[in-house]
Structure 1
Amino acid sequence: MQQLQRSDTPSAGMLAQLQVPVARAALADPGFFVRDEHPARELLNSVAEAGAVWLGPEDIDPQLMQRLGQSVQAGDSQDPAVFAAANEEVQQHVRAAAHRAELAERRHVDAARGRDKLDVARRQTEAGIAERCEQAQPPRFVQTLLRQAWADVMTLSQLRNGDDSAQWQQCLAQTARIAEVTAQPPGSAPADLTLGADIEAALVQVGYHADEAAAVARRLSTPGGEDDSTSRTELSARLKQRARLGEHGAEPAPAAAPLARDAAQEACYRQLLALPFGSWFEFTEDGSPRRLRLSWYSRLTDHALFVNARGQKTLETQLDALARQMAAGQARVVTEDKGRLIDRAWQATLGALRTLTGNTQEPDA
């Protein structure tokens, strides 16, 4: 069993302490090797799997592990209750760790879903602005203001209200009106004061200072996008210093369009779209296999989130990239059930013994 897990796992020390007591229990009770539920086997498996899967250094109480090991060593190896009591304490630790993992994973999934909704809202906002700018052809600086400032208003409306809401339709109508007004030659008509007031109020609601909101509103409601009060350079500089809606740092570069997938990659991609959340994957791109769970993915944005057994976020990728890894043999869906760690160790031991004796045939079930 020690060969089937890393030597640096937190439970490695307790496994070493269990060697003699478990050996005595096996010698005293022939049923040890045939009874899956034997308390000594249950304890051995619980300790090994807890260290290999659930319990990290931050989860382990060294004094508890030392006390459990000492209590088993000092107890009667022929008394199953000694092993059962120690196993129950280990299981309590495992259940607590599993609960923490569930909570951690839930937080990561909720955050990923929130980012995904924001991404979808931004895409719809960009499409709405692009369509109306294509129709009316407002000045370039007005288009910049639409994408840098007014887009925050539209994105928030999309997030809160959705596609079919009256609020979103009003945003689209206001965007069309902005493009229509500013596409007119400078001085050809008075500013649309009602539109300007609506724009200013909306920008203040998404966090713009009153003077910034007023400056943007004047340019978005005046023919030609003109404003004598604030220069373009000054306004651009002030807007660049602002964090966009939902951002906490530099704006990420837009993702490049994926290259066309070949037949194998497309088959893997289709397989991914049919997988349930929680499917396990084995990655081998760095030479050593590691198992991660596909906790969540989005068909709309292609985002995928992987966690480890402790619920910790370990990988964020795109389904397209994952499909290419699968086609290249660097990732695969884990479908087989390898059973408990102690059973795998027992089968490995039997296999080694058969090799030593020259008998490589599996016994009949």
Structure 2
Amino acid sequence: MLGSLQSLPLARARGQRRRTMQDLREATLARLRAEHGPAAALPPEHEDAFDLLSILYQEIGRQVRGDAPAQDLLERLQVPLARAALQDQGFFVAERHPARELLNSVAESGATWLGEDDADPQLVQRLEQVVQRVVEAYDGDPAVFELANQEVQEQQRAMLRKAEVSERRQVEAARGRDRLAGAKHQADAAIRACLAGRRPPQFVQALLNQAWADVLTLTALRHGEDSPEWRERTAATARIVEVTCDPEAAPDSALGTQIEAALRQVGYHEDEAGAIARRLSRSEDDEVTSRTELTARLKARARLGEDAARRSEPLPPRSAGEQACYDQVRALPFGTWFEFSLGAQGEVRRQRLSWYSPVTDHALFVNTRGQKVAEHSLDALARMMAAGQARVVTEERSRLVDRAWHATLRLLRGLAGRAEPAPSGAGA
């Protein structure tokens, strides 16, 4: 009877709910009674199997997004899975049963914590293909499920390799931004140290904090603060402050030449570099480029490390709870999964802490495909955890179908008035 139902195409009118396992049981029973009379009934073990499958599917459905392609695939798998479960009760107790393996792969492709960008379209396409083949070919031979699982696992391994490559690139880019931010802060600190309370003209300060800061940032990034190049640049910074703060100081043409060459190394055009150098060395009073024109050019120019070094507004001191969360996240290993709450609807997204800087507290989060989905400071992350907006995923590492099966057993034990034992396996 189930075999005859398996060959029928699924037809659902717009707005009609999906078929359930209970619907499938009723359809099977109706066919039995049409063929064998109104008194025909399912054997008790088959009734039990349908009840278990019905509860299991309900629990799986709670963990799969309603709009995910997996929902349609789960519906198409109902008849082959029911046939497999009725034929082999090992389906319920064997965690690695072939039919159960495929059920898990399909369900996890649409898990509730996956976002739209998390699902791999190639995996979804492969799942659609193998489910269709199972529906067409399954007739009691478990090898059909085994072959389907092999195809899915091959696609998942390929997806994992791509995710690892993507994640490595994201981590390398984050480390580069972190180094750039450190170099930018080092450059700013060097300028402040050279000024030491002195106040050159406001326009000169702007040139120091923008154009010349780019020079110092690149020098720190390429050579480090212990290099001769860095010492040369900081000495030039001190000389710029000396020349521009003392109206009686003689113009320094050698300094101007040095400044111009350094600015051209960080990408300034020849005329811009020359104009800035003349201002910072006071080597020429009759400016070729006006202050207004030079200011406009600087505003239009992207500064080196500006985004990487951007800081948020100072936050109030952490509370005791926030500090405890901060200490926790500082000790977490790379690769820890978090769940973030989105809005008031209770929607969550699972993201992986791929990398963080122990120096700047900058943290990178990726999704299951290794794509960057968020960046937070560890301080902000700790505050979100304390507010209940983020949590470390510490639940068991079991698969979705196994969690659904344990939930099924808990429900049955609750109906029977039995205490809940510690889960030790998939079987009852």
Tell whether the structures are fold-level matches, with TM greater than 0.5: yes
Taking the aligned partners of 1:100 and 1:238, their CA distance within structure 2 comes to 42
Q: How does 1:256-335 map to 2 (within 5 A)?
A: 256-284=313-341, 286=343, 287-335=346-394
Alpha-carbon spacing, 1:363–1:329, altered in 2? closer, same or farther (3 Å): closer
Taking the aligned partners of 1:111 and 1:352, their CA distance within structure 2 comes to 48
Taking the aligned partners of 2:288 and 2:311, their CA distance within structure 1 comes to 34
Post-superposition CA distance 1:321-362 (Å, at most 9, x none): 111111122222122314111111111222233344x32423
Match of 1:123 in 2: 185
Match of 1:28 in 2: 87
Taking the aligned partners of 1:245 and 1:252, their CA distance within structure 2 comes to 9
Match of 1:178 among 226, 240, 262: 240
After TM superposition, where is structure 1 displaced by more than 6 Å over at least 4 residues in a row?
none
Q: CA deviation at 1:156?
A: 0.6
Post-superposition CA distance 1:132-161 (Å, at most 9, x none): 112654333222111111111111111111
The DSSP-based 3-state class of the residue aligned with 2:196 is helix
TM superposition score normalised by structure 1: 0.89
Taking the aligned partners of 1:329 and 1:361, their CA distance within structure 2 comes to 30
Contact 1:191 1:221 in 2 (8 A): yes
Q: Which region of structure 1 is more displaced relative to structure 2, 171-180 or 342-351?
A: 342-351
Post-superposition CA distance 1:104-135 (Å, at most 9, x none): 22222222222211111111111100111126
Match of 1:362 among 420, 423, 428: 420
The DSSP-based 3-state class of the residue aligned with 1:291 is strand
Q: CA deviation at 1:253?
A: 6.0
The residue type paired with residue 138 of structure 1 is: P
The DSSP-based 3-state class of the residue aligned with 2:69 is coil
| Matched residues, number | 358
Match of 1:219 in 2: 279
The residue type paired with residue 419 of structure 2 is: Q
Q: Which runs of 5+ in 1 are unaligned?
A: none
Q: CA deviation at 1:6?
A: 1.4
The DSSP-based 3-state class of the residue aligned with 1:304 is strand
Contact 2:363 2:375 in 1 (8 A): yes
Q: Which region of structure 1 is more displaced relative to structure 2, 173-182 or 14-23?
A: 14-23
Establish whether residue 112 from structure 1 lines up as the match of residue 174 from structure 2. yes
The DSSP-based 3-state class of the residue aligned with 2:352 is strand
Post-superposition CA distance 1:212-264 (Å, at most 9, x none): 111111121128x955433322322222222212568xx99642222211211
Alpha-carbon spacing, 1:326–1:66, altered in 2? closer, same or farther (3 Å): closer
Larger gyration radius, structure 1 or structure 2: 2
Establish whether residue 208 from structure 1 lines up as the match of residue 268 from structure 2. yes
Q: Which region of structure 1 is more displaced relative to structure 2, 166-175 or 287-296?
A: 287-296
Alpha-carbon spacing, 1:55–1:90, altered in 2? closer, same or farther (3 Å): farther
Q: Which runs of 5+ in 2 are unaligned?
A: 1-59
The residue type paired with residue 177 of structure 2 is: R
Contact 1:152 1:244 in 2 (8 A): yes
Taking the aligned partners of 1:160 and 1:229, their CA distance within structure 2 comes to 32
Contact 1:305 1:313 in 2 (8 A): yes
The residue type paired with residue 361 of structure 2 is: D
Alpha-carbon spacing, 1:363–1:78, altered in 2? closer, same or farther (3 Å): farther
The residue type paired with residue 59 of structure 1 is: Q
Alpha-carbon spacing, 1:135–1:111, altered in 2? closer, same or farther (3 Å): same
Q: CA deviation at 1:37?
A: 2.0
Establish whether residue 336 from structure 1 lines up as the match of residue 395 from structure 2. yes
Taking the aligned partners of 1:166 and 1:92, their CA distance within structure 2 comes to 54
Taking the aligned partners of 1:340 and 1:254, their CA distance within structure 2 comes to 40
